[in-house]
Amino acid sequence: MRKIGIIGLGHVGATIAYTLVTKGIVDELVIIDTNDDKATAEEYDLRDTLARLDTFTKIIPQDYDALSDADLVITAFGNISSIKMDGDRFGELNFNAEAVKEIAANLKATTFNGVLINISNPCDVVTTLLQQQSGLSKNQVFGTGTFLDTARMQRAVGQALHEDPKNISGYVLGEHGESQYTAWSTVEVKGHPITQIASEKGLDLESLDQQARRGGWLVFSGKHYTCYAIATCAIKLAQAVLSDAHLACPTSVYIEEYGHYIGYPAVVGRKGIIEVNKISLSVAEKAQLDRSAKIIKEKLVH
C-alpha cells in the first residue's frame, strides 16, 4: 500500500494532493495544515472527486499519528506573504524555522521512518533544519532544491533553440535561490554540448542562466505564488521513492564538504538518497558552488 503525507496545504501542497489523488498515485493520503478550516476544505474537495475517478484514495486529515506507517512525507508549509517581489526566498526563513520545530517534534512523536521531501523555502536551509531536528538520517531527508531550477533552465534553453525541454540535459546547482547557477559544462542538447551550440548560434548563455534563475519570479509577479512546476517536481521525486526508480537528478542533498544541504546531483530511490552523484565541474563552476554553499551556511548560523 502506498501512503504519503503532506504537511502544508497552500497552493503547492494542495496541488500535490490533487495530483496524487487524481492520478491514483497513492492509496492513502494524510493531509495536515495549521488551519483546520483549510484542511477540511481540501479534504472534502478531494473526496468529492472520488466518484468521478477510476481509482480510490483514502483521505486522512489532520492526524500526525497516521504518518507512522507512511512511505513518504512532503513538507510544503510556509508564509507566502512574507516573500517580497525582490526575489529573496529567505523572506520565509524566520517563519519556517519556527514551523520546523513544531513539525519535527510532531514527527518524532510518531514512529515515522520513511522519506521526507522538503519544498518549503529557503529550501536548502529548511531541509537542513528538518533533518537535524527530525532525527531522520541524511539519506532519508532531501529537498526539491534545484530540480525545479534545472527544469527552468531546460525551458529557457529549449525556447531559445525551439527544442522540447526534455531534450536538454544538465544541471543547475547550488542554492535554490539567487546564488544558484547553471553548470554549463554539464548541459547538452540531444547529446551535443551547449557550449558548442552557443558558439555556433551565438547564444548568450549568461542571459539563459538569468532566465532560469528569475523564472520563478516571472510567475510569482503575475500570480503571487508558483505551484504547477514545483508540484510536478515533487510528484516525480515521490514516484521515484515509491517505485525505487534510482532517478538521477539534482536535489537539495547533504554534502559532507559543506555540512549542509545544497542543490547537487543525486540518485533517488526507495530509501531516499541512494548516493550523491559526484560530477566534474570546471574550476569556475566549483568556485560558484562554494560561494553558494557559504551563503546557505551563513543563514544557518543566524
Task: Specify the pLDDT at position 21.
Answer: 98
CA distance 69 to 278: 32
> Is position 12 annotated in a ligand binding site?
yes
Cα distances from 274 to residues 95, 114, 119, in angstroms, run 31, 14, 19
Indicate the domain borders of the chain: 3-143
> Is position 170 annotated in a ligand binding site?
no
Tell me the CATH number of domain 3-143, given options 3.10.580.10, 3.40.50.720, 2.40.50.140, 3.20.20.70.
3.40.50.720
CA distance 293 to 286: 11
Check: CB of residue 263 under 8 Å from CB of residue 174.
yes
> Is position 33 annotated in a ligand binding site?
yes
Q: Read off the C-alpha cell for 297.
A: 551556511
Which residues are catalytically annotated? 176
Cα distances from 65 to residues 132, 219, 271, in angstroms, run 21, 36, 21
Q: Tens digit of pLDDT for each residue in 232-246?
A: 999 999 999 999 999
CA distance 51 to 70: 25
Please tell me the pTM assigned to this model. 0.96
DSSP readout, 31-85? EE-S-HHHHHHHHHHHHTTGGGSSS--EEEES-GGGGGG-SEEEE----GGG--T
User: Is pLDDT of 86 > 70?
Assistant: no
CA distance 39 to 47: 12
Q: Tens digit of pLDDT for each residue in 167-191?
A: 999 999 999 999 999 999 999 999 9
CA distance 147 to 143: 9
Which region holds residue 62: left if phi is over 0, alpha if psi is between -120 and 50, else beta?
Answer: left
Q: Which of 287, 289, 251, 276 is closest to 119 using CA atoms? A: 251
> Is position 86 annotated in a ligand binding site?
no
Task: State the angle between helix axes of 283-301 and 123-134 in degrees (0 to 180), rounded to the nearest 10.
Answer: 60
Task: Specify the pLDDT at position 290.
Answer: 98
> Is position 9 annotated in a ligand binding site?
yes
